[in-house]
């Protein structure tokens, strides 16, 4: 496949892996976190860890938008969908994420709630246009890649004069999560010391490479932004090994075919026009992180379902046996959860990390190739 096949070339992959093995010092360890769930799946799918020497270890990070949404926000969406006038529009992955007491949007839909799966924000706007008697709420989740399409949907709804469209906003910010990981207690314990980050691909096309400068300047951690193909990831690992060896901590960009220093200014401006950072936002596994989530600015509050329908989020715990929080912080591997593959499988998930196509537990279940 053109423009893809060349990034999956086995001989080239072996060459990069050989360079990593030659340059990685056997007397030290390299603990590298891939932040993004897309990278986690690429690593599992292509068996990239099998190509790395034992001293180079990949740690799976929290960059899965479905996984980091806490139970309380799922519960709130289920309660909202129970209102007879509401049509809740959501991406497919979210339907199966367990809320409290084993509830889910899928079960709520089976019980009669008007919950519809959509493929884009525009699908939700279309439903609001076609069904003016329904209050259509889009369950907006995701990192900086998905907030611009949500902003665009609001702009379209405003231009069309729609008064029956709103969003339940759960957009989150990547740099805040990386900051929490490098500044958090786990980062100070030897057991989970992280030596560098493989930076996200899609997110970085929007926010730009410079958004990670704090990793280098404040925490002396190197970052190598990588594309999603296997050669991209391997090359980023080699870049990080070299930085660690040379005592450098810089923001390097392997994904130069898509990521620039400043990112997509148009998308950033659109998001900044409509959204502002919340004081704090609760993440599964990471807790309440300051300025880590977005909400609509007051000028756009008529599109804010939290205000319009007085949505209240009540903190709720994960299933007591579920280790999603620890998996998302990189302190446990999926197979270290005692429910993995026993009570928790993709057919009957107990935690969000087994549901989402970007979740680490789903990757380990599908490919079984993490070490």
Binding site for ligand SF4 (CB under 6 A): 322-324, 327, 334, 337, 339-340, 344, 350-351, 353-354, 361
CB 231 within 8 A of CB 13: yes
Q: How many CA atoms lie within 13 A of 243 on its CB side?
A: 25
Nearest distance in Å: CB 320, ligand SF4: 10
Determine the Cα angle at 314 with ends 351 and 133, to 5°.
95
Looking at the Cβ atoms of 274 and 363, the one nearer to ligand SF4 is 363
Looking at the Cβ atoms of 272 and 342, the one nearer to ligand SF4 is 342
Nearest distance in Å: CB 75, ligand SF4: 17
Nearest distance in Å: CB 333, ligand SF4: 10
Looking at the Cβ atoms of 51 and 328, the one nearer to ligand SF4 is 328
Nearest distance in Å: CB 360, ligand SF4: 7
Nearest distance in Å: CB 264, ligand SF4: 33
- Enter the tokens of residue 181: 């990981």
Looking at the Cβ atoms of 81 and 328, the one nearer to ligand SF4 is 328
Q: How far apart are CA 314 and CA 75, in angstroms?
A: 8
- Enter the tokens of residue 200: 């996200």
State the residue for tokens 């709520």. 108
Looking at the Cβ atoms of 267 and 337, the one nearer to ligand SF4 is 337
Nearest distance in Å: CB 358, ligand SF4: 12
Nearest distance in Å: CB 226, ligand SF4: 24
Q: How far apart are CA 324 and CA 362, in angstroms?
A: 11
Pairing between β-strand 287-290 and β-strand 280-283 as defined by DSSP bridges: antiparallel
Q: 327: closest CA among 297, 292, 362?
A: 362
Q: How far apart are CA 196 and CA 307, in angstroms?
A: 40
Looking at the Cβ atoms of 305 and 363, the one nearer to ligand SF4 is 363
Which residue of the chain is nearest ligand SF4 when measured via CB?
Answer: 351
- Enter the tokens of residue 9: 């070339």
CA distances from 164 to 88, 128, 196, 294, 303 (A): 12, 6, 46, 21, 9
Looking at the Cβ atoms of 274 and 350, the one nearer to ligand SF4 is 350
Looking at the Cβ atoms of 229 and 318, the one nearer to ligand SF4 is 318
- Enter the tokens of residue 287: 């807790």
Length of the chain: 371
Q: How far apart are CA 241 and CA 329, in angstroms?
A: 22
Please name every residue paired with 294 in a beta bridge, in sequence order, or none if there are none. Answer: 277
Nearest distance in Å: CB 161, ligand SF4: 43
């Amino acid at each position: 496949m053109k423009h893809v096949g060349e990034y999956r070339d086995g001989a080239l992959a072996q060459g990069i892996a050989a360079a990593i093995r030659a340059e990685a010092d056997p007397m030290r360890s390299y603990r590298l976190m891939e932040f993004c769930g897309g990278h986690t799946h690429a690593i599992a799918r292509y068996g990239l860890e099998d190509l790395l020497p034992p001293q180079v270890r990949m740690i799976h990070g929290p960059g899965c938008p479905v996984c980091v949404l806490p139970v309380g926000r799922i519960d709130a969406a289920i309660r909202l969908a129970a209102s007879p006038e509401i049509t809740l529009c959501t991406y497919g992955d979210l339907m199966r994420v367990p809320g409290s007491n084993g509830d889910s949007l899928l079960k709520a839909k089976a019980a009669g709630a008007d919950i519809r799966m959509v493929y884009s924000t525009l699908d939700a706007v279309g439903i609001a246009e076609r069904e003016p008697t329904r209050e259509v709420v889009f369950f907006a989740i995701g990192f900086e890649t998905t907030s611009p399409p949500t902003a665009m949907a609001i702009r379209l709804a405003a231009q069309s004069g729609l008064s029956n469209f709103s969003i339940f906003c759960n957009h989150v910010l990547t740099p805040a999560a990386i900051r929490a990981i490098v500044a958090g207690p786990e980062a100070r314990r030897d057991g989970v010391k992280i030596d560098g980050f493989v930076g996200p691909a899609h997110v970085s096309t929007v926010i730009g490479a410079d958004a990670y400068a704090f990793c280098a300047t404040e925490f002396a951690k190197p970052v190598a932004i990588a594309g999603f193909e296997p050669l991209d990831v391997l090359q980023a690992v080699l870049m990080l090994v070299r930085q660690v060896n040379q005592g450098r901590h810089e923001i390097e960009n392997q994904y130069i075919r898509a990521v620039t220093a400043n990112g997509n200014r148009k998308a950033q401006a659109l998001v900044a026009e409509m959204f502002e950072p919340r004081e704090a936002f609760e993440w599964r596994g990471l807790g309440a992180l300051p300025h880590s989530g977005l909400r609509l600015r007051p000028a756009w509050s008529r599109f804010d379902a939290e205000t319009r329908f007085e949505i209240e989020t009540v903190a709720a715990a994960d299933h007591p046996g579920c280790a999603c929080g620890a998996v998302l912080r990189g302190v446990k591997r999926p197979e270290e959860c005692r429910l993995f593959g026993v009570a928790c499988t993709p057919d009957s998930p107990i935690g969000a990390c087994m549901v989402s196509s970007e979740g680490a537990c789903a990757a380990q279940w599908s490919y079984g190739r993490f070490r």
